Every structure is written in structure tokens, then in C-alpha cells.
Amino acid sequence: MKPVDFELHRPATTDEAIALLAEHAAEAKVLAGGQSLLPLLNFRLARPDHLIDLGRIAGLAQLRRTQDELVVGAMVRQAQAERSPAVAAHAPLLAAAFPNIAHPPIRNRGTVGGSLAHADPAAELPAVARALDAVFVAAGPRGRREITSRDFFRANLMTDLEADELLVEIRFSRAAPHTGADFQEVGRRRGDFALVGAAAQVTVDDGLLSDVRICLTGVAQTPHRAVEAEDLLTGHAPDPALLARAADAIRDTIDPSGDLHATAGYRRDVAGVLMTRAVTGAHRRATETAAEAA
Amino acid sequence: MGSRHEIELVVNGEARRGTAPARTSLADFLRDTLGLTGTHLGCEHGVCGACTVLLDGAPVRSCIVLAVQADGHAVTTIEGVSGPDGRLSPVQEAFCQAHALQCGYCTSGMVLAAQALLDECPHPGRAEIDEALGGNICRCTGYVQIREAVEQAARAIGSAPAEPVAEEAVAHD
Ligand SMILES: Cc1cc2nc3c(=O)[nH]c(=O)nc-3n(C[C@H](O)[C@H](O)[C@H](O)COP(=O)(O)OP(=O)(O)OC[C@H]3O[C@@H](n4cnc5c(N)ncnc54)[C@H](O)[C@@H]3O)c2cc1C
Ligand code: FES
Ligand code: FES
């Protein structure tokens, strides 16, 4: 239960980190909050020769707002973003997801970028990023590039980042007024990675749903954007009959696998239930914000 | 070859230093280098909460924090919770009163998680207690008395004359 010996580097700037990564890429791992990586090291499932700790790069731990975007630095701690009024106001789905991640002590260390770069198909933040069409900014020896959330998640624990690239920030479009969000999931124990989760964010326009965004965790190798359900719901009020059709559309399009914890059939079925709850919750919150604003 | 690092941190209010290989966890550094064995290790991969300590006042799992990552920061362990004269803190006192421990293996982590909760939220409801301590596993008590101990400690702190430490915690909110 102790990691193999490694050399630790503690760069002060992103450029230094990139140079170190370029030098050692094949034998190096980036260390963010360590809440996924250190368990892997303790088990010796990962045995890097070099660890590049991003913890001293102040520029990566900033949350900022621009005219149309909320920009989250990769090293922003999950607990920090969870408490941020800017996140609650401009990316309500991101705010709704945090309480579902592990337990408070883990969110005190774990970072937003770390969870996204780790790309666990059961994790909450990848589904949020996919639902909101977040843009990932990577930096490496060949410069910076932007990656869409559709392209970022490649497979189970695999992203579009090259071995010598860092995730530096994630950009979210600011939510329109009268937008609400909800995150629903089921798991065996509180705080565990969920079996299945549903992220939903909606905007309410004259009582009708617009800009419906739904993404599921735990039903595929990467976050599953439920486009069919989004299309069915857009432009309508979320009444029970329509939600039932949207849930059926989800059950018809997903192909989850079964394991020790839950059968494929259970996951398929519960995905529809969770989507219904999440859209209902998101709609309620959007209506409340609309009422507060009026 | 792995690197070794000089680590300086404040533990329970006292400046401490030591050197350790990069791979050393904060838990092992506290136990083996500084001799503070009140921090217990259960699972060593972040799931049981036994190793919980406060890092700059916030609970973290010291088995999945590297000692180097705590360099320059302040750590509170179970040894720093009681008064200098050995007098138990209100949380520790309440754990005794409520029979919130049996073997005691999980207790240091439980007490620190409870202390962090009360520092931030002096009158927690059940849901808040469960959220704050939900990641700490206890194989003995069945949790009910642990929750009662936290409620009891909140009442005890609430009725005690305000201490400077408590005021400072409120000012941070
Ligand atoms: C008991 C327990 C329960 C948990 N439950 C949940 C849960 O329910 N839901 C959930 O989503 N997560 C859960 N987690 C994981 C937690 O959210 C982690 O914090 C997160 O997955 C990783 O973030 P980190 O900052 O700790 O990254 P690290 O562990 O430091 O890194 C994770 C991986 O990402 C890479 N990486 C990190 N940052 C970057 C970057 N900027 N650029 C390139 N690569 C990078 C690292 O090299 C590593 O491979 C749990 C963890 C534990 C220990
Ligand atoms: S020993 Fe650290 S969480 Fe179990
Ligand atoms: S008292 Fe024995 S594990 Fe909690």
C-alpha cells in the first residue's frame, strides 16, 4: 500500500510544467488533487517515475467570468467551485453536481480539471461538461488548443489530451436567465461513484422548455448526451406523458453493460427514471428563478 | 531514483520540519517522522476516513495527500484537539458521554471531521452531520451515538462562554 519511488517536480508556472512534461512525458504523471491518482499509486496500479505537481501554479486555480463565459481553471478545487456564487449563478448544473461527488474531505482536495482529465464514466463532472458543451483548453509544447466536450472524452478513462499536454481551463457558456438544473443519481452507498446518474439543465420560456440539456453517467464508456430526449422535450411543458416518452427514448438508445453492482437492465431502466426526476427538478428551479426575478 | 524533500509545516500550532521521500503520504510523515501516531490508517486509498486530519482547517484524507503537498501549510491532528493541560475538547468529551466509540480506531478521524463541521456550522442539523461524517467508516458503533455526540458537542459549545478561537472561526464565514 505504498507507492513506488518517484521523482516529484513542483513547477511554479504552466510553462515550466509543460517543459517538464515534454522532457518526461512517457514516464510522467500529472498530479492535481491526487484523489484519484494517489489511490492508484498506493495500489501500485500506476508506477510513474516522475510526478509533476500542479499545486503551486496559482494561475491554474482561478475562477473567472468574461462577458459570456465562466472560465474554471483546471486546479480549482471541487469544494471551492461548489461554494462559488459565480458557479451557482452562471453554471447551475455544475453547482448541482458537486454535492454528489464523494465526500466533503475529498472535494476539499479534488480539482475540477482532475476529475475531467481522469474521465471516469461514472463521474459527475464529465457529464456536466458534456451537457453544457464546455470547451476544454489544453496546453502543450505545440501551444494551446481548444477541444469540444464531444471530442474530449474518448473512452473509459481516456481523453483527447496527448501525453505531453495539460488541461489548463474549462470554459462554460453563461446560463441564460430563467435557467435551472438538477443532478440525480443512484449508488450503493452515499458518496460512492454512482451506478447511473442524470444531469439536466433547462431554460423556461413562457412556461415551455427551451435549451434542454441532458447527459447520463454510468451507461456508456463516455458521458451519454441524451439528444433524443432533449429534442422531444424542447418547446413543450414537461408533463408526465411527455416525460415518459422521453424516458422511453433514453431506454431505447442506451446500451449499458451489467456488472457486479447492477445489471444492464436495471441501469437502462433507472436511467429513464433519473432523467425524469432531473428534468422535473431543473424545471422547478428554473420556474422559481423566473418567479424570483419577476 | 526518487526525490527527497525538505518539508516545513505547522502541526498543532507548532513549527515542525523533516525530510521525506516524495512518495511519503502525509499520514506516514505524521506517524513515522513526527511520531504523532494518533492519526490512524485503515484503507490507505481514501475510502474509510480513519486518517482524516485538518489541512488549513479543512478535513482531508492524509493517506491520499503527499507530505510534500502539505509543505508550508498548517495541519491539525487528534493530538492537537485537546487543551495543553490534556483537557478533552467538547467534541471529545461528547464522544465519551454518548458512547460514540468502542475500539477507537475510527475515532480520531471522526473527532476531526466533527470539529471541522462545528467550526463552520455551529448548529448543524442531522443532514449536515450525516454529510460531514458520512465518509467516515466505523465498524463498531453503528453511527447513531456518533451523531448524538456531535449534537451534544454542538449544544455544549453553544452554551459555553465564547472562546476567542470560536469567535475567529465565525469571523471566517
Ligand atoms: C473515496 C473516493 C470516492 C470518490 N467518489 C467520487 C464520485 O462519487 N464522483 C467523482 O466524480 N469522483 C469521485 N472521486 C474522485 C475525485 O472526484 C477525484 O478528485 C477526481 O476524480 C480527480 O481529481 P484530482 O484533482 O484529485 O486529480 P488527480 O487524482 O490528481 O488526477 C487524476 C488523473 O487526471 C490527470 N490530471 C489531473 N489534472 C490534470 C491536468 N490539469 N491536465 C492533464 N491531466 C491531469 C492525472 O495525471 C491523473 O491521471 C472519489 C475519490 C475517492 C478517493
Ligand atoms: S486510511 Fe485514509 S481514508 Fe482510509
Ligand atoms: S469505534 Fe471501532 S471502528 Fe469506530
> CB B135 to CB A106 under 8 A?
yes
Pocket lining: B26 vs ligand 2, CB cutoff 6 Å: no
Q: Which residue of chain B has the CA closest to A109?
A: B60
Residue nearest ligand 1's atom 41 by CA:
A167
Q: Where are the alpha helices (DSSP H) in A91-237?
A: 92-97, 104-109, 112-118, 124-131, 149-152, 227-233
β pairing state of B4-11 and B74-76: parallel
pLDDT for residue B161: 59
Phi, psi of B18, rounded to the nearest 5 degrees: -170, 165
Record the pTM: 0.95
Helix or strand or coil: residue A223? coil
Walk across the sheet containing A69-73 and list its strands.
Answer: A63-65, A69-73, A166-173, A135-140, A143-148
Q: Which of A218, A222, A221 lies closest to A270 in space, CA to CA?
A: A218
List domains and CATH numbers for chain A: 7-53 (3.30.43.10), 63-173 (3.30.465.10), 179-289 (3.30.390.50)
Among A259-263, B40-44, B102-106, B151-155, name the one with the lowest average pLDDT. A259-263
Interface of A with B in 185-244 (CB under 8 A): 190-191
Testing ligand 3's pocket by substitution, the residue of B133, B140, B146 carrying the most ligand atoms inside 8 A of its CB is B140
The Cα–Cα gap between B114 and B123 comes to 12
The whole-chain average pLDDT of chain A stands at 96
Which of A278, A283, A287 has the alpha carbon at shortest distance from A96? A278
- Which among A4, A39, A55 has CB closest to B45? A39
User: Does the pLDDT of residue A10 top 50, yes or no?
Assistant: yes
| pLDDT reported for residue B172 | 39
The answer, yes or no, to whether any atom of ligand 2 lies below 6 A from the CB of B60, is no
Q: How far apart are CA A123 and CA A134, in angstroms?
A: 16
Give B5's strand partners.
B20
Nearest CA in chain B to A40: B45
How far does residue A83's CA lie from ligand 2's centre (Å)?
25
pLDDT at B170: 40
pLDDT above 50 for B165: no
Q: Which pLDDT band holds residue A290 (cuts at 50, 70, 90)?
A: confident
Say if residue A209's pLDDT is above 50. yes
Ligand 2: does its nearest atom lie under 6 Å from the Cβ of B46?
Answer: yes
Residue A83 has pLDDT above 60, yes or no: yes
Identify the CA nearest to A60 among candidates A78, A80, A74, A81. Answer: A74
Predicted confidence band at A182 (pLDDT cuts at 50, 70, 90)? Answer: very high
Where residue B169 falls among pLDDT bands split at 50, 70, 90? Answer: very low
Q: Is A2 in the B-facing interface, judged by CB distances under 8 Å?
A: yes
pLDDT category of residue B168 using cuts at 50, 70 and 90: very low
8 A C-beta contact, residue A213 and residue A132 = yes
Nearest-atom number in ligand 1 for the CA of B135 is: 1
Q: Which of B107, B90, B88, B103 is nearest to B146 (CA)?
A: B107
Grade residue B164 by pLDDT with cuts at 50, 70 and 90. very low
Whole-angstrom distance, CA of residue A294 vs CA of residue A95: 23
Q: What is the pLDDT of residues B11-68, one digit of tens each?
A: 999 999 999 999 999 999 999 999 999 999 999 999 999 999 999 999 999 999 999 9
Residue-range domains of chain B with CATH: 4-80 (3.10.20.30), 90-156 (1.10.150.120)
Average pLDDT, stretch A77-85? 98
- CA triple A254-A259-A264, angle to 5 deg: 30
Whether B160 shows a pLDDT value over 80: the answer reads: no
